[in-house]
Amino acid sequence: MDRNLTEISNAIAVSNNLSFRNLVSGAGHDAQVFGTFCPTSLLFVPSRQGISHSPKEFTSIHDLKNGIHVLAELLYRIAY
């Protein structure tokens, strides 16, 4: 993943008092392909009990809103 995009995302989380951690995803994502052509990053939001890619996956509205805020701010910063 692109180091600059990761650093910007981390800075946004810090400035909004959002807890975060950098992690390596074991899942296959389109980012694997795009990353060879353009700067690419992944943003994850917490899922209850860490369950993802499953019908049991659940993410709170609060965490979804925080993720949207980080994404919107990231897009704004790289566009301007």
The whole-model pTM stands at 0.87
- The tens digit of pLDDT for each residue in 51-80 reads 988 999 999 999 999 999 999 999 999 999
**Exposure letters 6-43 (e unless 16+ CB within 10 A, then b):** eebbeebbeeeeeebeeeeeeeeeeeeeeeeeeebbbe
The ranges assigned to domains in the chain are 3-21+31-79
Kindly report the CA angle at 19 between 15 and 23, in degrees rounded to 5? 115
- Tell me how far apart the alpha carbons of residues 12 and 74 are, in angstroms, rounded to a whole number: 7
